[in-house]
Structure 1
């Protein structure tokens, strides 16, 4: 019988979080009517970095997390690829 370990609470804890794709970033900005500069100001991520991510460049996870949190605060919900493709929608 194995013993409980507190670290196990964190194993797979984020499996339900959808990894934000470049297309979702563009869609989320369009849905919220935020320009690249607006999102940069709100998130603290430079406009050039946002543009590079939207064009498919890699980014640090912390940068993606910051952008995602900002967009979620603005009312965006990220939709996983569940047979219908990735997407975003605005929360009610």
Structure 2
């Protein structure tokens, strides 16, 4: 969701996060990833304007999600 909202391809996010595009694809498909890989992906998205909203945090719908600034 966040990647698509930013107009990034899987390859773009992989490059931005310094991980393989296959790793991004696998993670987006529900596959497992190391915590360090997830942190790299999150940082790459946050650097580009995404804000991750956790469960219980204030959001428009009251649940976990992503918003762009």
Q: TM-score range by the shorter chain?
A: 0.7 to 0.9
Deviations 1:22-48 (A, max 9, x none): xxxxx1101111000111111111110
Structure with higher RCO (Cα < 8 A, 6+ apart): 1
Structure 1 alignment gaps of length 5 or more: 1-26
Q: Which residue matches 2:67?
A: 89
Q: CA RMSD in A?
A: 1.3
How many residue pairs get matched?
65
Structure 2 alignment gaps of length 5 or more: none
Structure of greater Rg: 1
Q: Which residue matches 1:35?
A: 9
